[in-house]
Amino acid sequence: MFLHLRPKLKFRMRKNVLLIVLSFLFSVSLFSQTKFTISGTIKDGKTGEELIGATIFLKDTTGIGAVTNAYGFYSLTIPASKKEIAVRYVGYEDYSVTLDSMKSQSINVSLSPASKTLKEVEVKATKSNENITTSQVSAIKLDIKQLEKIPVLFGEKDILKTIQLLPGVQPASEGNAGYYVRGGSNDQNLILLDEATVYSPAHLLGFFSVFNNDAIKDATLYKGNMPAEYGGRLASVLDLKMKEGNSKEYVIGGGIGLISSRLNIEGPIVKDKGSFIVTGRRTYADLFLKLSKKENLKKSILYFYDINAKANYRIGKRDRIFLSGYFGQDKFGLQDRFTIVYGNATATLRWNHIFSDKLFSNTSFIYNEFNYTIGINVASIDVKSQIRDFSLKEDLDYYLNSKNKLKFGFLTTFHTIVPGQVISSDTARIGNIILTKNYGWESSVYAQHEISLWNKVNINYGIRLSVFSQVGPSKYFKFPNEDAIDTFNLKLGQFGKTYFNPEPRVSISYNFIPSMSFKAAYSRNVQNLHQLSTTTTSAPTDRWIMTSNNTKPEISDQVSAGYFVNFHKDMFELSVEGYYKWMQNQIDYKNGATLRANEAVETELLYGVGRAYGAEFFFKKKEGKFTGWVSYTFSRSERKFPTVNRGTWFASRYDRTHDLSIVLMYDITPRINISATWVYYTGLAATFPIGKYVLNGEIVPLYGDRNQDRFPAYHRLDIGATFVLKKRKTWEHDLNISVYNLYARKNAYSIDFKTDYNTGTSYAEKTYLFRIVPSITYNFKFSFAPLKKKQK
């Protein structure tokens, strides 16, 4: 009898211990019968677009709420006694609902956009304090609508240039879409468009981003302390999500600008079940070239175009399929001498499945590539290069209860890099140079837990385990000593060097009072793809290499802490953040390195360490006729390589001591708004001559240590105005006017050192790209309801 009882007792005890642990962890009693779960999607009532980051909460109880995920899905577990639910999203009117039964159910909500044109009085739109309550630190969610008002070069609304106005983010150079985040290089920024990696995010040598604003629904920038679901780059993740398309009516919109025009079409496939959107852009700068009197310019080519397309369809209540893609290309040609063609292509197929009211799944198949071809006609050769990824991704959201959320999943990617192949025709004077392709297999699994304690503390902790292997069939190099090069071959399916890296992440927020919080975070990030750039601004032809037996994964450890406060009923937002980042296995190249058409390119590289630290100040007015922000960053970014500057720390190309942006927007009337931005930043670190000497009869600069000098400080004022010409229910159009560099400052784009042999003197000469650049853009939009099918 006694013997018979023991195992049972043991079992019970174990179970109890487990339950106690679980209920402590998740601060809920799992047996409780007095709770139920509501779930569903939250949408824009006008367009049917799902809203990301909308909050749904209990009206009379603080601290019980949920936030919609990237697909507008939420799940909220609530006590059975509660039935007053409210839904909120910035820029939309509040919505309340009273539940009529106390059981688990599906509730889909459509929010009405807060309209401004109806009355002059300030509309009671929702304000958000999510910036205070979330544990996420060092992240910014961009307001896509606000972006339309900010003046930019040539009037091309550009998300990558707008993020450069935020703290901790700096432009790579004048008018450039490239950016540096917290002292990291350009290639340390991961840019995701519907989960697909965009390797080269700029058109026209960096002057425009490849992202057409008309196609983007949501954009969030993580400055190094990303949650465990993201990985692969050290400095930042910019997560862009494309619009789904209007599921209620057809809309045709577009714009005609100074150098490009846009057109977009969206509408339902089947009303409220599926929708599509197609957006396109093309520049016509080449038409200006045709006007030139110079024969050589007339024959030149210079344009880009891009297309975004997306469709989605609901299959039943639990499943939804999305297909999205991007294709863009740039083409330059100087006379008949040479042409450069380059572009990105991405495709994402996604399947959302709701397993239960608490478990949401998304499975994605992702393809992306970047390629370029340089045709050197005078030499009859083409140089071709490509980087291509195939990925499978799975993400699961598990809404345990209103205080606990789990997220876990995996990502596996097969990378192919085709380095610059030289393909020559029969008449060419150079033979074919076929560099071996490189293959890499990169995978990661992650799990993260978001927990909220005592309504005051939010914690998000997690871990990402990443593994990278060099794989065959390919040739790799070994360098047993300084001058020797050995090669080894990997066959198809054979693995070379493999690196495992655990990447722990944690962020914590403590809310003193609902409108004030202190946050801290730590993250380790690992990067296995590296871009070798010989200039400050990345060029489309810059070569990418993978982690190998010689090049180790880049690793960063970043700690951040900040103080966040909202006041005047969340109308104003103020934050102060500090960070420190350590970087390992940073890459630079040797003096006079040969990076092109060089198979053993790793012989030209140097490996070192980096450190970056800074303080970021951000003050924003979010509501009212007058809105805008002031952002100031003090930061340093340094590198150390054994053979550069005798192994001492030196300022990196990404170092900008001071960086200030002021953005002001004012609605004069509902139809007219004006805006202005002013930016100031420390000139970039550069190497200037410390003397001069004679070589072959020429007088040439003598250089000292790397990056000991600075360009002159950069500053610029831009202004803009938008006039709504007409706004009706079915159509509207507006005119946007902007002036770039209003006071015509001649900011140095480059500095050359020259000698005047007549006067026998040497001098420095700067090249500046732009003085005052005015521009004008006309935008229009028509919408009409789907045609009713004729009844027979």
Partner 1 sequence: MRNILRTIAIALGAVIVNSACTEKIDLKLKNSEPQVTIEGRVNDKPGPYYVAITKSRLYTENNDFIGIGGALVVISDDAGNIDTLAPGFITGLYQTNFIQGTVGRTYKLSATVEGTTYVSLCKMNPPVDIDSILISTETNFQGELKTTTKMQIRDPSGVPNYYQVFSVRDGYHGQHSDRLWDGKIREFNIPHKDLASGDTLEAELWSISQQVYTFFDQFDQNQNNFGAPAAPANPDPVYTPAAMGYFSAHSIKSKTVIIP
565 belongs to the binding site for partner 1 (CB under 8 A): no
CB 202 to partner 1: min, Å: 12
Burial of 642 from C-beta contacts in 10 A (0-12 / 13-18 / 19+)? exposed
CB 653 to partner 1: min, Å: 7
Tell me which residues in 649-678 interact with partner 1 (CB under 8 A). Answer: 653
Tell me which residues in 610-629 interact with partner 1 (CB under 8 A). Answer: none
Answer for which of 479, 582, 749, 778 binds partner 1 (CB under 8 A) is 749
Tell me which residues in 406-425 interact with partner 1 (CB under 8 A). Answer: 422
Tell me which residues in 302-361 interact with partner 1 (CB under 8 A). Answer: 302, 332, 334-335, 337-338
Answer for which of 29, 62, 292, 730 binds partner 1 (CB under 8 A) is 292
Answer for which of 163, 259, 471, 663 binds partner 1 (CB under 8 A) is 259
Closest by Cα among 712, 715, 724 to 765: 712
CB 543 to partner 1: min, Å: 11
For partner 1, the closer of residues 339 and 391 by Cβ is 339
Q: Where is 738: in which H helix or E strand?
A: strand 731-740
CB 157 to partner 1: min, Å: 18
Answer for which of 502, 766, 776, 785 binds partner 1 (CB under 8 A) is 766
CB 95 to partner 1: min, Å: 48
Distances (CA, A) of 559 to 46, 137, 226, 286, 522: 42, 10, 11, 47, 4
Which one-letter amino acid corresponds to residue 327? F
215 belongs to the binding site for partner 1 (CB under 8 A): no
From CA 190, how far away is CA 232, in angstroms rounded?
Answer: 7
Contacts of 482 (CB under 8 A, 6+ apart): none
CB 599 to partner 1: min, Å: 11
713 belongs to the binding site for partner 1 (CB under 8 A): no
From CA 329, how far away is CA 246, in angstroms rounded?
Answer: 27
Tell me which residues in 377-406 interact with partner 1 (CB under 8 A). Answer: none
For partner 1, the closer of residues 60 and 752 by Cβ is 752
Tell me which residues in 162-191 interact with partner 1 (CB under 8 A). Answer: 173
Contacts of 279 (CB under 8 A, 6+ apart): 212, 214, 215, 262, 263, 264, 265, 307, 308, 309
- Whether 727 and 779 have beta carbons less than 8 Å apart is answered as no
For partner 1, the closer of residues 134 and 538 by Cβ is 538
Two tokens, residue 650:
């030196």
CB 206 to partner 1: min, Å: 8
563 belongs to the binding site for partner 1 (CB under 8 A): no
> Do the bridges between strand 189-193 and strand 236-242 make them parallel or antiparallel, or are there none, so unpaired?
parallel
Two tokens, residue 332:
């330059």
Site string for partner 1, 535-554 (x = CB under 8 A): xxx-x-x-------------
CB 218 to partner 1: min, Å: 32
433 belongs to the binding site for partner 1 (CB under 8 A): yes
Tell me which residues in 100-139 interact with partner 1 (CB under 8 A). Answer: none
From CA 470, how far away is CA 546, in angstroms rounded?
Answer: 8
Q: Which residues of 661-693 are buried (b: 16+ CB within 10 A; e: fewer)?
A: bbbbbbbeeeeebbbbbbbebbbbbbeeeeeee
Answer for which of 689, 715, 724, 742 binds partner 1 (CB under 8 A) is 689
Handedness of CA 10, 13, 15, 21 (dihedral sign): negative
From CA 588, how far away is CA 476, in angstroms rounded?
Answer: 20
For partner 1, the closer of residues 120 and 765 by Cβ is 765
CB 691 to partner 1: min, Å: 4
Answer for which of 694, 728, 729, 789 binds partner 1 (CB under 8 A) is 694
753 belongs to the binding site for partner 1 (CB under 8 A): yes
Tell me which residues in 473-502 interact with partner 1 (CB under 8 A). Answer: none
Answer for which of 768, 778, 780, 782 binds partner 1 (CB under 8 A) is 768
Q: How many residues bind partner 1 (CB under 8 A)?
A: 87
The stretch among 74-82, 223-231, 439-447, 752-760 that binds partner 1 (CB under 8 A) is 752-760
Q: Where are the alpha helices (DSSP H) in 148-233?
A: 159-163
CB 720 to partner 1: min, Å: 17
Tell me which residues in 571-600 interact with partner 1 (CB under 8 A). Answer: 589, 591-592, 594, 596-597
Locate the DSSP E strands across 402-515.
404-424, 438-453, 457-471, 474-478, 486-490, 495-513
For partner 1, the closer of residues 44 and 286 by Cβ is 286
From CA 440, how far away is CA 432, in angstroms rounded?
Answer: 25
Tell me which residues in 499-538 interact with partner 1 (CB under 8 A). Answer: 533-537
CB 757 to partner 1: min, Å: 8
What's CA 781's distance to the chain center, in Å? Answer: 27
Which one-letter amino acid corresponds to residue 167? P
648 belongs to the binding site for partner 1 (CB under 8 A): no
From CA 228, how far away is CA 558, in angstroms rounded?
Answer: 14
